[in-house]
Amino acid sequence: MSSLKGKVALVTGANSGIGFAISEHFASLGARVVIHGRDEADAGKAAQRLRDGGHDAASTGGDLTDPEVCRGIVRFTVEWGGRIDVLVNNAGNTARGYIEDASVEFWDTMMAVNLRAPFLCLQEAVKSMKTHGGGSIVNIGSINAYIGAPNLGPYSVSKGALMTMTRNAGAALGKYGIRVNQLNVGWTLTEGEERVQRESGHDEGWVEKAIGMAPFGRLLTPNEVARAAEYFASDQSAIVNGSVLDVEQYPIGAPAEF
């Protein structure tokens, strides 16, 4: 039995895909959920979908490359909910790029969204969690953190660094009852992945090709990731801290460049 009833949760990058699936699943378990999206109007629509289902939800927006936005969305959550019990750092930049020719601007944007934003949101959330007896921070990483495909160089580095931050923060914050864990997510079929694949030049048959590469004959679904996030967010994992769970059908790493 989950213990999310009455918990206040913030999920970043939650307009659609994995982020929305986590938000919807947490809400179904009784959590009060704040949906963040880069576009505030889209975040509002996503939160309304939860309210239409009878759930308690709010929304906030902003570009996470801005440090004040990172801090601000956590403050909004605390003001709205009176506290923050769960932070899910889901928002991510998945742009393709090679180590040998990535520009400084590309690198800095990747690190700002995938590493600095979770760090700043964590910092701000900890202020409230320490005064309320603890909390759970769930970082959404990637199986690419271990190596990654050649065209995911900077992205893979950002997720590897996030994994180290997760473990370090878990060790540092456990004394306050704050747990920090990470899901390294594998290839998941989302609206965002569809967009990225089409922008990368793949035709509409890319899904069939991807499925052909998958050991279990399908890709992950956002709902499967949401259920894994529930484990780390709830008291089901009350004694688990600084851990990384690979939510993937490949034992380690990722398939060859696609």
Q: Which long-range contacts (CB under 8 A, 24 or more apart) does 39-48 make?
A: 39/15, 42/15, 43/14, 43/15, 45/15, 46/14, 46/15, 46/16, 46/20
Rounded-to-integer distance, Cα 197 and Cα 193, Å: 6
- The residue annotated as part of the active site, out of 98, 146, 155, 176, is 155
User: Does residue 155 have an active-site annotation?
Assistant: yes
Distance CA 15, CA 21 (A): 9
Task: Single out the residue of 82, 85, 103, 110 nearest to residue 26, CA to CA.
Answer: 85
Cα dihedral across residues 30, 36, 40, 45: positive or negative: negative
Instruction: For residue 161, give the amino acid letter.
Output: A
AA letter at 230: E
- Helix then strand count (H, E) for the chain reads 9, 7
Q: Cα–Cα distance between 74 and 51 in angstroms, integer?
A: 20
Residue the block writes with tokens 């922008």: 199
Q: What is the Cα–Cα distance from 87 to 70, expressed in whole angstroms?
A: 12
Nearest to 134 by CA among 171, 168, 173, 77: 173
Identity of the amino acid at 233: A
By annotation, the residues acting in catalysis are: 155
